[in-house]
Structure 1
Amino acid sequence: MDSGRRHDAAAADPDAGIHVRRIYDAPAADDGARVLVDRLWPRGVSKERAHLDHWSKEVAPSTELRQWYAHLPERFEEFRSRYLTELQEPERAAELQHLRDLAGAGPLTLLTATKEVGLSEAAVIAGSLRGPRGG
């Protein structure tokens, strides 16, 4: 979760085109396709301000898992494990494949309202898209 180190290594990383950012931040020049991966629409963000290409609520964690996790850092590893299992369910797997296709076509930015993006479902999705070494 050392974002500084990740940015330093980005030039040599073929997966550097997959970004995880907050929906509340202004769009960046290197965003490419901007996809919201939260099930619920973020408070205070208009659709115009979001600059979204897609809202992938189907890939979001189940309500039960999201509520259990409650963004508690000490639960992240268990959340990650349970969520990776959920991502194998047909509807989520199909949406994950859509995101994989988008990432294959160019830069992809996964957006979340979560304050700590490194401990979010977007980070788990990004790891899954990057393959075994990132997931």
Structure 2
Amino acid sequence: NSKNRKAHKVPLSPLAIKLFSELYALRDESDWVLPSFTDNDSPMTERVISRAANRAQEVVGIDKWVPHDLRRTAATKMAGLGVAIPVVEKILNHTMGGVMEVYNRHPYWEERAEALVRWSQEIESIIAKDSVY
């Protein structure tokens, strides 16, 4: 369910596939990769993720953040990795404004896939650095 009511397909990086596979193995026979804690036949809600983020505030060391902030962080970091802004916007499922919306109909699928691989490699690099300490 996206705000702009457009289908949003996301190419998964090897890291995303690995993490989803691990979650799938823990799903306790539910049809959902992230099932509800109270009803195995329903998906986990966004509120559960927000509550988990609230509980993790102290561990993360950031006073106040919400899960939506992760989108901004990913967009900022991908731009810093040299990912073109139209590609970042497509990854976020933003609608293009002005001339871009009218004239540029390219889906940027391959570019999105490559950008998400680069972003996952950056995440793995950050995790590897943190695990050294």
TM-score using structure 2 length: 0.29
| TM-score where L is the length of structure 1 | 0.28
> Would you tell me which structure has more strand in proportion to its own residues?
1
Structure possessing the higher radius of gyration over alpha carbons: 2
